[in-house]
């Protein structure tokens, strides 16, 4: 009969007790994990170092860059060309203007009167020319009349000579007959009186001829003087007319200069003129900065200059747009000297306590106008310039000078002189008729 086991007694076979872990066995996994992490870290560092070395060998060592670069541009000075009182101001600082836009207006009263005075001078000069022309015509008439009178006197002289010869012949005949008492003493005396009368008439005709000849000479002299004063027989060639025309052009120019206009597109800066201000010729009024025509002056170290060539491509970034916006420029020139060489007080290095300082040479970089239009810049902004020294397609640093008649910068004409020409033509037409 089977034996029953008491309740609660475990009849399973006995198992050996688990031994407690020792200290050496717990350190093995930790060391293994640490070695693995160290290996991974080492591999990452080596990979980064390899990539860095590869980038340096292939790219970075050829990159020439500087943070010492700033945006530059032309600053068009707006100055008063005549004296006057400011009556209107059309712009303020930061305003954008177009070429031909009125900036400042000066009082026009004095210059308007000067123009009217010049017009009157031209009218007077033309009328004086007409008077002198009429004087020449009258002198021609006087010469013709004097010549006619002299011809008439010459006829009178010839007639008087004939009369005198006849009287002398009659006197001689009668005087010869008086000895034979063929004629009376009274007849002989009458013949002698006739001779004296004929001689007196001849003398009077000769004197009259001298007077007529003097009148012809005087008329010719007056005509010659008038012709000499007129010069060429052309109203436009007369000195008085030319002076009056020049006065009209000057007055017109000064009147138009009371309207001070913008010679170029750009932005207003440094406006110093005020309403009611009395200004003189040459007074600075404001500055216009053409923001469409900017460049960058990058100051590279002297050790970097050997890698820079004219025409070399340059990548530039600005602090206001960050690295997302890259400007693609081009080297257009290297300065003739470092910044310190052209300073007001250049360094004196002939002393005993000289310390070498790395010099920087300004390099001018042109900017793309389309990129400037998309992302405008302002004069004086900081730029980062970077170029690849492997790019050797540009010209050498010292290029051969070539003559060029193209101006570096040019302003539009501010005054149209056609209005003055039209005024002169109208006055000449009105006063010549």
Residue 154 sits in a domain whose CATH number is: 1.10.287.620
Residue 405 has pLDDT above 70, yes or no: no
What are 76-95's pLDDT values in tens digits?
A: 999 999 999 999 999 999 99
Whether 364 is covered by a domain: the verdict is: no
DSSP-derived letter for residue 310 is: B
Please list the helix, strand and coil fractions of the chain in percent, rounded to the nearest 5, in that order.
Answer: 45, 20, 35
pLDDT beyond 70 at 403? no
Separation of alpha carbons 113 and 255, rounded Å? 10
Place of tokens 């063929």: 182
Lowest-confidence segment of 100-109, 271-280, 282-291, 421-430 by average pLDDT? 421-430
Q: Minimum mean pLDDT among 34-43, 64-73, 112-121: which range?
A: 34-43
Q: Give the residue-averaged pLDDT of 328-352.
A: 82
How large is the average pLDDT for residues 313-337?
Answer: 92
95 or 137: which leads in pLDDT: 95
pLDDT of residue 396: 60
Interval 374-379 mean pLDDT = 94
Q: Greater confidence, 257 or 157?
A: 257
Number of alpha carbons in the 13 Å side-chain half-sphere of residue 395: 12
Cβ neighbors of 214 (< 8 A, separation 6 or more) are none
Average pLDDT over residues 185-212: 81
For residue 310, tell me if it sits in a domain: no
Q: How are beta strands 102-106 and 76-79 bridged, if at all?
A: unpaired
Residue, of 216 and 317, whose pLDDT is higher? 317
With cut-offs at 50, 70 and 90, classify the pLDDT of residue 20: low
Q: How far is the C-alpha of 368 from the C-alpha of 328, rounded, in Å? A: 7
Q: Is 22 helix (H, G, I), strand (E, B) or coil?
A: coil
Least confident of 63-77, 195-209, 248-262: 195-209
pLDDT of 325 over the 80 cut:
yes
Residues facing 287 on adjacent strands: 77, 269
Confidence tier at 25 by pLDDT (50, 70, 90): low
Backbone phi, then psi, for 72, in 5-degree steps? -130, 165
**117 within a domain of the structure (yes/no):** yes
What average pLDDT does range 34-55 have in this prediction?
82
Q: Is 142 helix (H, G, I), strand (E, B) or coil?
A: helix
User: pTM for this one?
Assistant: 0.66
d(CA 400, CA 208): 87
User: Which residue range is the domain that position 143 belongs to?
Assistant: 111-251
Of residues 217 and 386, the one with the higher pLDDT is 386
Whole-number Cα distances in Å, 165 to 171, 194, 422? 10, 11, 73
- Domain membership of residue 162 (yes or no) is yes
Lookup result for tokens 């000769």: 206
The yes-or-no verdict on residue 139 having pLDDT over 50 is yes
| Cβ-contact 254, 415 below 8 angstroms | no
In a domain, 307, yes or no: no
| Residue 223 forms part of a structural domain | yes
Q: How many separate domains does the chain show? A: 1
Q: What mean pLDDT is predicted for residues 380-391?
A: 88
Position 8 pLDDT exceeds 60: no
Q: What is the mean pLDDT of the chain?
A: 82
Q: Which residue has the higher pLDDT, 395 or 125?
A: 125
Strand residue runs (E) in 38-98? 63-73, 76-79, 84-89, 96-97
Asked, for residue 414, whether it belongs to a domain, the answer is no
Tokens of 350: 């002939």
For a pLDDT cut of 90, what percent of the chain falls above it? 40
Contacts of 359 (CB under 8 A, 6+ apart): 301, 302, 338, 339, 340
134 located within any domain: yes
Structure tokens at 279: 């200004």
- What's the pLDDT band for 412 if we cut at 50, 70, 90? low
């Amino acid at each position: 009969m089977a034996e029953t086991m008491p309740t609660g007694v475990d009849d399973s076979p006995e198992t050996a007790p688990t031994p407690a872990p020792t200290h050496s066995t717990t350190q093995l996994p930790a060391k293994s994990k640490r070695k693995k992490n160290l290996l991974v870290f080492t591999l990452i560092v080596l990979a980064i170092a390899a990539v860095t070395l590869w980038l340096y060998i292939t790219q970075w060592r050829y990159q020439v860059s500087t943070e010492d670069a700033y945006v530059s541009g032309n600053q068009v000075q707006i100055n008063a060309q005549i004296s006057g009182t400011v009556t209107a101001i059309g712009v303020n600082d930061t305003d954008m203007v177009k070429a031909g836009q009125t900036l400042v207006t000066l009082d026009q009263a004095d210059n308007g009167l000067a123009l009217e005075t010049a017009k009157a001078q031209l009218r007077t000069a033309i009328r004086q020319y007409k008077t002198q022309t009429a004087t020449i015509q009258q002198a021609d008439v006087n010469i013709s009349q004097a010549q006619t009178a002299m011809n008439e006197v010459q006829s009178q002289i010839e007639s008087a000579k004939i009369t005198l010869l006849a009287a002398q012949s009659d006197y001689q005949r009668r005087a010869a007959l008086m000895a034979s008492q063929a004629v009376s003493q009274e007849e002989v005396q009458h013949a002698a009186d006739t001779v004296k009368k004929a001689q007196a008439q001849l003398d009077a005709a000769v004197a009259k001829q001298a007077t007529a000849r003097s009148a012809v000479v005087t008329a010719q002299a007056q005509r010659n003087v008038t012709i000499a004063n007129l010069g060429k027989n052309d109203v436009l060639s007369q000195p008085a007319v030319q002076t009056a025309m020049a006065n009209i052009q000057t007055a017109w120019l000064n009147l138009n200069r009371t309207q001070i206009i913008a010679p170029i597109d750009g932005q207003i800066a440094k406006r110093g003129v005020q309403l009611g201000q009395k200004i003189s010729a040459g007074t600075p009024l404001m500055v216009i900065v053409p923001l469409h025509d900017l460049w960058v002056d990058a100051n590279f170290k002297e050790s970097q200059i050997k890698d820079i060539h004219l025409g070399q491509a340059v990548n530039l970034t600005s602090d206001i747009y960050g690295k997302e916006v890259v400007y693609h420029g081009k080297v257009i020139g290297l300065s003739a000297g470092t910044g310190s060489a052209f300073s007001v007080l250049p360094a004196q290095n002939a002393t005993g306590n000289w310390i070498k300082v790395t010099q920087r040479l300004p390099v001018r970089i042109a900017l793309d106008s389309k990129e400037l239009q998309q992302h405008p810049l302002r004069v004086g902004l900081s730029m980062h310039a970077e170029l690849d020294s492997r790019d050797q397609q540009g010209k050498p640093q010292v290029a051969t000078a070539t003559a060029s008649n193209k101006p570096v910068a040019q302003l539009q004409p501010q005054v149209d002189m056609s209005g003055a020409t039209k005024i002169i033509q109208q006055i000449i037409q009105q006063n010549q008729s």
